Chains A and B, each alone.
Chain A
């Protein structure tokens, strides 16, 4: 089967190109296109889906034969499954030290690069003597990402037909979605950092366009700008990391970079007096991009505001795919991160992931907007993924990415259905929707269970694996993850009870179920939320065989699984007690610890801090420059005006007194002389006689005085 599919795989580059063509087509045809642009987009993405499935099939069948994992294979890398309850030998002496924080066998010491995954490239440009090639690569990681992106995009676009119905810019929405999917798909199949970076930026651009889709709303535009600028901060780091790698490896091709990593160990970059070791530095810079794009602490502030965009956008981009691009980045560049047993960059990744997971979960407990709860939940789950990758749980993190995409997208679409049906986003006003919107309710419930890690849902398998990896590496990180799991269960229970259970609180709301075109994708995603995890069944972890790094052993620990389930159960119980049965009054927290409540309600004042530290000085500087510019420029202009006036006054004076004076003087002079000489021609006889005698007098005078 692999060989028959192989020629098809060489057309992998079509996968992003078809949505790109759809983008162009919709721009050209607009409203007159099929389904006013929707069908063009859906057709393109469906075609990409089909092609992706063929590629995935090829990859799966290929890996069954010889390919184990993306880059590493040894002769003995078979799936070896341990059941172990004991902790590993390497104990961390102190939780805070980045020593032995993970137990990955160093890639560089024991393993060769895997046989070439499927890769095609064409020469593109030559920079500084180095030829750069553009192309794609197909390996298990690519396959997983293709599944995620195409499935979710297809379902979201179908959903959008209903949700965006009647919008004035309906075709443009589908154009943007097509452009986004083209960029995202090209991101996941890129085989070099340059194409990766271009797609990364393009994804950010389409995110901006889609968040600000309803650009008449100033809040939407502010949110779009915030998203773009905050992710841009991360992108600076990413670009620096790309440059650093290019400088030292003289290539942007991923495979060639990975081949040269062993030679880069120990090299340092000299900046002035400091010498920075390259390997952690490159990883940290790349991770900066992931921090921005995946809304990790401290660049998480844009994601809640990004909920201003239409709900399908939130579902697709800010839950399933774009924010997962950061996780994908770490996964794809894992050799750069995992260069040694004590990798600084992986430590940073894990710590930040854990902090993000816990922090976002705490905020989500007090939020009242249904989409924002889900936004903070997304931030928290992304933190989980980063935590997983940081502690060496390569497979766990990526599995969570896959499952999270399905259930979180479902939750968002479900919330969109709620908003569509009730007209509000404030859960305090909702209630009792269970009766009015049954399909939305049940799909929402199923995906929530997956999110909370209820056993036998997809989320259970992925979250459990993450906690297991963390448990073996660092107890502090594990406990943070566990606390986050508890809080996740709590706030999701709160959300569901306030939204769907109980009685309707706002009499104005006349809830109705959404049309079939919206609820059908919900059903599909709900099904996937349950079954997607079964590929990682503990006893026969196919997923782990498919996608792993190094000599990975898929494990299962009853101890950890019990602790995780217990945490989730506690959270659900607490949530039910507070919000369903009203056994405990929900406002007790607010009254007992008002300072804590305010801290959470204001999102730890991150926005305010950033505003004060960054934005205010910038505005101040801008104002200063503007006023300066105004004064100088206006001063110059006014000065020129005054100068002109002064010059003209001077010139007027000159003209009046000097020029006119000369002219008048000349005239007067001539008149004087004329009057003088006119005497010689008066025509009067006696005047002539006068002249004669005057001459006579003069002659006599001359003679007199010559004596």
Chain B
């Protein structure tokens, strides 16, 4: 086995990601899960970098780690009162249904990726992707772009309303 530096670094990053993800779904202390989730996200960003997807890496770090994980942290804090660390977090019979299904799906996917011959035309050289993505967003994919902004608006409004407390003297 002769690994190039790229491959080796890929294996390291991928392994980090996968191990972190595994820890996310198995740890008992949910805060630790959240932290490992952040680490997994970081690993994914690394994978993006290995793919020369510089914009995606940056976006991944900013949005996922910077916003979503923080949001989850807030939510965890707010619901922490009842969910102590002594409570078993995983279903008692995880080996009955979840694990076989997950394993089954993995094996199916694995079989696909081994057998299938992707008609690749070779790998081009790396280029900065941000400009291309931006151009595409505003020309070819401008409609989904606008709709995405509406989705974000709706989500924001919805989240605010959903999470609002019902105070009796609340005035519209």
Contact = CB atoms under 8 A, between A and B. Distances in A.
A697 B107 CA distance: 10
Contacts of B109: 700
Nearest to A692: B101
Contacts of B104: 697
Interface string B68-106: 000000000000000000000001000001100110110
Contacts of B112: 700, 704
Nearest to A687: B97
A686 B102 CA distance: 13
A700 B91 contact: no
Contact of B97 (A690, A696, A700, A701): A690
B105 A693 contact: yes
Interface in B85-139: 91, 97-98, 101-102, 104-105, 108-109, 111-112
A694 interface: yes
Contacts of A694: 101
Given A696-B105, A697-B104, A704 B98 contact: no
Contacts of B91: 686
A674 to B, nearest CB: 20
Interface in A414-459: none
B125 to A, nearest CB: 34
B105 A700 contact: yes
A686 B97 CA distance: 11
A694 B112 CA distance: 18
Nearest to B109: A700
Nearest to B102: A693
B101 A697 contact: yes
B108 A700 contact: yes
A647 to B, nearest CB: 52
Interface residues of B, number: 11
A682 B101 CA distance: 19
A688 B24 CA distance: 22
B101 A701 contact: no
Interface residues of A, number: 9
B98 A697 contact: no
A694 B104 CA distance: 9
A464 B105 CA distance: 145
A309 to B, nearest CB: 109
B79 to A, nearest CB: 16
A680 to B, nearest CB: 14
A684 to B, nearest CB: 10
Contacts of A704: 108, 111-112
A698 to B, nearest CB: 10
Interface in B124-157: none
Contacts of B105: 693, 696-697, 700
A690 B108 contact: no
B29 to A, nearest CB: 20
Nearest to A689: B98
Nearest to A701: B108
B111 A690 contact: no
Interface in A17-61: none
Q: What are the 7 A-B residue pairs with the smallest beta carbon separation, nearest first?
A: A700-B108, A693-B101, A697-B104, A697-B105, A690-B97, A704-B108, A697-B101
A686 B92 CA distance: 13
Interface in A606-650: none
B46 to A, nearest CB: 28
Given A693-B101, A697-B104, A704-B111, 7 more contacts: A686-B98, A690-B97, A693-B105, A700-B105, A700-B108, A704-B108, A704-B112
Nearest to B112: A704
Nearest to B105: A697
Interface in A658-707: 686, 690, 693-694, 696-697, 700-701, 704
A248 B16 CA distance: 140
A690 B104 CA distance: 13
A419 B101 CA distance: 125
B108 A697 contact: yes
A690 B94 CA distance: 12
Contacts of B101: 690, 693-694, 697
A686 B93 CA distance: 13
Contacts of A686: 91, 98
B101 to A, nearest CB: 5
A704 B104 CA distance: 12
B86 to A, nearest CB: 21
A696 B105 CA distance: 8
Nearest to B108: A700
Nearest to B91: A686
A239 to B, nearest CB: 105
A696 B102 CA distance: 11
Contacts of A697: 101, 104-105, 108
22 contacts: A686-B91, A686-B98, A690-B97, A690-B98, A690-B101, A693-B101, A693-B102, A693-B105, A694-B101, A696-B105, A697-B101, A697-B104, A697-B105, A697-B108, A700-B105, A700-B108, A700-B109, A700-B112, A701-B108, A704-B108, A704-B111, A704-B112
A679 to B, nearest CB: 10
A696 B97 CA distance: 14
A705 to B, nearest CB: 10
Contacts of A700: 105, 108-109, 112
B122 to A, nearest CB: 26
Contacts of B102: 693
